[in-house]
Amino acid sequence: MTAFRDALAPLAGYKPRVLREREILRVAGILPGVDPGTIARKAAAEVLKWAQKQVGKRVPNPAWDGESFDLPLPGRDPSAIRLKTDSSDLWAFRMHRPDRDVPGRAWTTEVVLGHVPGEAAWFSTRLLVATDETKLAIEPAVPGFARQVAGQCGLLVGTQRAGYRPEVFVSDDSGDALLDHLLDAGRVLPTILLTCSDDENTPLLDADQLNGFLPGLAHVAVAHHDACWRLTEGFGKRLSVFGGAVRIYLPGFDEADHPYRHRLVPREALRSVGAAVRVQSWLRETAARFSLLRTRLGRDVLSFAAIRSASLEVRQANLSARSASEAEQVVALKAQIEALQRQLATLEEEQSYSLDEYQKERERAEAVEAQAQNAALRIQRLTALLREGRQDPDSRLKLPEIWADFADWVDENLAGRLLLAPAARRGVRKPEYDGVETAARCLLWLAAEARDRFANGGGSLSKVSVLDGIRNAPCGADAYDFQLGGRTHTADWHIKNGGNTRDPGRCLRIYFCYDPQSQQIIVASMPAHRRTGAT
Q: Tell me the average pLDDT across 148-160.
A: 92
Contact 301, 217 (CB under 8 A): no
What was the pLDDT predicted at 78?
A: 92
Instruction: Give the DSSP letter string of 485-534.
Output: TTEEEEE-EEEEESS----TTT--EEEEEEETTTTEEEEEE-SSPPP-S-
Q: At 517, is the pLDDT very low, low, confident or very high (cuts 50, 70, 90)?
A: confident
pTM: 0.74
Q: What are phi and psi of 121, to 5 degrees?
A: -70, 150
Q: Tell me the average pLDDT across 360-382.
A: 61
CATH of domain 20-156: 3.30.530
Least Cα distance to 419 among 409, 408, 411, 427 occurs for 411
Residue 400's CB is within 10 A of a number of other CB atoms, namely: 19
Q: At 323, is the pLDDT very low, low, confident or very high (cuts 50, 70, 90)?
A: low
Using a 10 angstrom Cβ sphere, with 0-12 exposed, 13-18 middle and 19 or more buried, the burial of residue 270 is buried
Q: At 311, is the pLDDT very low, low, confident or very high (cuts 50, 70, 90)?
A: confident
pLDDT in tens, 412-469: 888 888 989 888 988 998 899 989 999 999 999 999 889 888 877 766 788 899 998 9
Least Cα distance to 110 among 126, 123, 97 occurs for 126
Instruction: Give the DSSP letter string of 214-260.
Output: -TTT-EEEEE-HHHHHHHHHHH-GGG---TT-EEEEPTT--TTS-GG
Q: What's the half-sphere exposure (Cβ side, CA atoms, 13 Å) at 427?
A: 21
> Does position 394 have pLDDT exceeding 80, yes or no?
no
What was the pLDDT predicted at 316?
A: 60
pLDDT, greater one: 228 or 331: 228
Least Cα distance to 193 among 158, 155, 224 occurs for 224
According to DSSP, the residues that pair with 30 across neighbouring strands are 122, 156
Asked: is 163-294 a CATH 3.40.30.10 domain? The reply is yes
Q: Tell me the average pLDDT across 14-35.
A: 82
What was the pLDDT predicted at 7?
A: 58
Q: Give Cβ neighbours of residue 483 (< 8 Å, ≥ 6 apart).
A: 489
Contact 482, 421 (CB under 8 A): yes
Contact 291, 140 (CB under 8 A): no
Q: At 43, is the pLDDT very low, low, confident or very high (cuts 50, 70, 90)?
A: very high
